[in-house]
A = this chain, B = another copy of it.
Amino acid sequence: MSRYKLTLEYDGTAFAGYQVQPNKRTVQSELEDALFKIYGEKVATFASGRTDAGVHALGAVVHFDAPKQIKNNIQDAINSFLPADLKVVRVETVSDNFDARFSSKKKTYGYKFYLCRYERPLFANKALRVNDNIDIEKMKQACKYLVGKHDFTSFVARKSGKTDFVREIYAAQITDTNDGCLMFKISGNGFLYNMVRIIMGTLLFVGSGKFEPEDLKNIIDAKDRKKAGKTVPPYGLYLLSVDYDE
């Protein structure tokens, strides 16, 4: 029996998120339907994490144990059964103790946005429009307060049984995507529910002058969701990559 690691790209627009839900079109259900067609039996898949409805991925990771060997190239076989908005980017054989979720060392998310007076047709469902009077330099300054090991209680949407809100952020920066957008990129050892979208909303409050960059420190220290900014919409969010030791 071989364990496979799949790297997925998807356009989240028409999915009700990653995880299987009854009577909903999800990434996981489309993937498991494709594996069923290939192997003739139900194959369980295990993801690095879930993404919400509308959130995109360039490098989501999933593992599964193949019930048997197939003759064809696995990537081509799976892709032939997947819809146009979900594809396998890469297939790797991994050891039996590899786990897409528990073996991950680093995750990187990106939040794409652009500055404009009107909604750009060609960025619909792919990036957030922001008014062009925003101060990007101040947002960049605010990013440095995110780096390090912090309790991110102020940036979690609901606590749902969790007790540990400490996460380590390795890098946070705003870069130009060269296609007319900007991207807030953040990587860390893990992220809480809606954490990136709340951090992004908080950075936008810095950009609009409602907060100062150094306020980020106080907002983190407050451990209070009400001190942070708004939750930005899902369609600007991209799961860019999940990194592992092996």
Interface positions of A (Cβ within 8 A of B): 9-11, 56, 58, 75-76, 79, 84-89, 117-122, 124, 126, 177-179
Contact call B177/A119, Cβ cutoff below 8 A? no
Contact call B124/A11, Cβ cutoff below 8 A? yes
Q: Give complex CA distance A89, B118 in Å.
A: 8
Given the known interface contacts A178-B178, A178-B179, A179-B179, the answer about A88 and B124 at a Cβ–Cβ threshold of 8 Å is no
Contact call B87/A9, Cβ cutoff below 8 A? no
Nearest-neighbour CB distance to chain B for A138, whole angstroms, equals: 26
Closest Cβ neighbor of A56 among chain B residues: B122
Closest Cβ neighbor of A84 among chain B residues: B124
Contact call A118/B88, Cβ cutoff below 8 A? yes
Contact call B9/A120, Cβ cutoff below 8 A? yes
Closest Cβ neighbor of A11 among chain B residues: B121
Q: Give complex CA distance A76, B117 in Å.
A: 9
Q: Give complex CA distance A122, B87 in Å.
A: 10
Residues of B within 8 A of A178 (CB): 177-179
Partner of A87, one of B58, B84, B85, B118: B118
Q: Give complex CA distance A58, B178 in Å.
A: 15
